[in-house]
Amino acid sequence: MEIKKAVIPAAGLGTRFLPVTKSMPKEMLPIIDKPVIHYVVEEAIASGIDDIIFVTGRSKRSIEDYFDESPELEMYLRQKHKDDLLKMVEDISSMVDIHYIRQKEPKGLGDAILTARKHISGEPFAVLLGDDLIVNKTPCTRQLIEVFNKYRCSTIAVEEVPQEKVSSYGIIKGTPLDECLYSLEEIVEKPSVKDAPSNIGAIGRYVFTPEIFDCIKMAGSGVGGEIQLTDGIRLLNDMQKVYAYKFAGKRYDTGDKLGYVKAIIDFAMRNEYFDQDLKAYLKTILGADC
Ligand code: UTP
The CATH number of whichever domain residue 187 belongs to comes to 3.90.550.10
Using alpha carbons, list the distances in angstroms from residue 14 to 36, 192, 206, 250: 14, 22, 21, 22
Domain membership of residue 132 (yes or no) is yes
Domain membership of residue 273 (yes or no) is no
Domain membership of residue 288 (yes or no) is no
Domain membership of residue 152 (yes or no) is yes
Q: How many domains would you assign to the chain?
A: 1
Atom of ligand 1 at shortest range from CA of 10 = 19
| pLDDT value for 289 | 56
CB-based contacts of 218: which residues, under 8 Å, 6+ apart? 232, 235
| pLDDT value for 290 | 45
Range of the domain at 58: 5-255
Q: Please report, in angstroms and rounded to a whole number, the separation of the first and last CA atoms in the chain.
A: 57
Q: Which residue of 8, 13, 21, 107 sits with most ligand 1 atoms within 8 Å of its CB, as the best mutation to test the pocket?
A: 13
Residue 48 region by backbone torsions, left for phi larger than 0, else alpha for psi between -120 and 50, else beta:
left
Q: Atom 15 (ligand 1): residue with closest C-alpha?
A: 129
Domain membership of residue 282 (yes or no) is no
How many A from CA of 12 to the centre of ligand 1? 4
CB-based contacts of 111: which residues, under 8 Å, 6+ apart? 103, 216, 226, 227
Q: How many residues would you count in the chain?
A: 290
Atom of ligand 1 at shortest range from CA of 11 = 25
| pLDDT value for 205 | 98
Successive 10-residue mean pLDDT values, the chain, 290 residues: 93 92 92 94 95 89 88 91 89 86 93 95 95 96 97 97 92 95 94 92 97 94 86 96 97 95 93 84 76
How many A from CA of 208 to the centre of ligand 1? 19
Q: Which residue of 109, 206, 227 sits with most ligand 1 atoms within 8 Å of its CB, as the best mutation to test the pocket?
A: 109
Domain membership of residue 115 (yes or no) is yes
Question: Identity (one letter) of the amino acid at 5?
Answer: K
124 lines ligand 1 (CB under 6 A): no
Domain membership of residue 26 (yes or no) is yes
How many A from CA of 263 to the centre of ligand 1? 19
Please list the alpha-helical segments (H only) found in 171-228: 212-219
Domain membership of residue 261 (yes or no) is no
Instruction: Say if residues 251 and 159 touch (Cβ distance below 8 Å).
Output: yes
pTM: 0.94
